[in-house]
Chains A and B, each alone.
Chain A
Amino acid sequence: AQKVTQAQTEISVVEKEDVTLDCVYETRDTTYYLFWYKQPPSGELVFLIRRNSFDEQNEISGRYSWNFQKSTSSFNFTITASQVVDSAVYFCALRRVGGGSNYKLTFGKGTLLTVNP
């Protein structure tokens, strides 16, 4: 069975602080995909990034960066110089490779990030 754990239920920071959101996953598969989604207060789910398990290169996109460590089954997300607009619930998700029942995204329960001015 697959499982995604986001141990931080809520995080509160002051604007311009750096913040890291943790994601730990469990899977027996050797290849898989990991994702981060953002859900702002308006409610929609916004896709942020996909990471393939066979590519351990870390990725940076503006103020966002992702640290994938297969050895510790973690896929952490860091926001540098946080802004009020970053306030949202962030979900980490895992998906098996292939079709059939593998279509399912397994989501963590989410981390509510509040960035205060």
Chain B
Amino acid sequence: NAGVTQTPKFQVLKTGQSMTLQCAQDMNHNSMYWYRQDPGMGLRLIYYSASEGTTDKGEVPNGYNVSRLNKREFSLRLESAAPSQTSVYFCASSVAPGTSGGYEQYFGPGTRLTVT
């Protein structure tokens, strides 16, 4: 099992450019998440998808959109990148709450994004 995979690993964008971060999991998890990690801020939730076909905003959704393409894949799109979106982005997945062994989230390796 590869677990949670993310592409790309690194990306540099100019202000105003758009891009999509891809995430896939092979653990048959129902729920998927996007976080950003900034120095001194810990991890903050951008968007999440409780199950296939649903998405909801997290703490810091402004400037982002998401698509839950199917049960395996959850993408994050920056429509018009800004320097404030320079960060490390993590995708995570988990089984649905109430399921045995649920609640903990498993993370991908991250995407380091720089917006100049």
Residue on A nearest B96 in the bound complex, by CB: A99
CB atoms of B104 and A43 under 8 A apart: no
Contact with A along B47-73 (1 / 0, CB 8 A): 010100000101100000000000000
CB atoms of B59 and A108 under 8 A apart: no
Asked whether B31 is an interface residue with its Cβ less than 8 Å from the other chain, the reply is yes
Which residues of chain B in 72-116 are interfacial with respect to chain A, using CB atoms and an 8 Å cutoff?
A: 88, 90, 92, 96-98, 103-110, 112
Interface size class of A (residues with CB under 8 A): 20 to 34
Given contacts A50-B103, A104-B59, whether A44 and B110 have CB atoms under 8 Å apart is: yes
Interface size class of B (residues with CB under 8 A): 20 to 34
Most chain A beta carbons < 10 A, residue from B41, B42, B45, B107: B42
CA distance A108 to B97 in the complex (A): 22
CA distance A108 to B44 in the complex (A): 10
* Cβ distance B30 to chain A, nearest Cβ, rounded Å: 10
Residue on B nearest A42 in the bound complex, by CB: B109
Where chain A touches its partner, the secondary structure class is: mixed
Given contacts A99-B96, A105-B43, A109-B40, whether A47 and B110 have CB atoms under 8 Å apart is: no
* Cβ distance B45 to chain A, nearest Cβ, rounded Å: 5
Instruction: List A contacts of B90 (CB < 8 A).
Output: 45
CB atoms of B42 and A107 under 8 A apart: yes
Query: Can you list 6 A-B pairs, Cβ within 8 angstroms, ordered by A?
Result: A44-B110, A50-B104, A97-B97, A103-B56, A109-B40, A109-B42
Interface set of A (CB-CB < 8 Å, partner B): 33, 35, 37, 43-47, 50, 91, 95, 97-105, 107-110
Per CB-CB distance, the 7 closest pairs between chain A and chain B, nearest first, are A45-B107, A107-B42, A109-B42, A107-B43, A50-B104, A44-B109, A33-B103
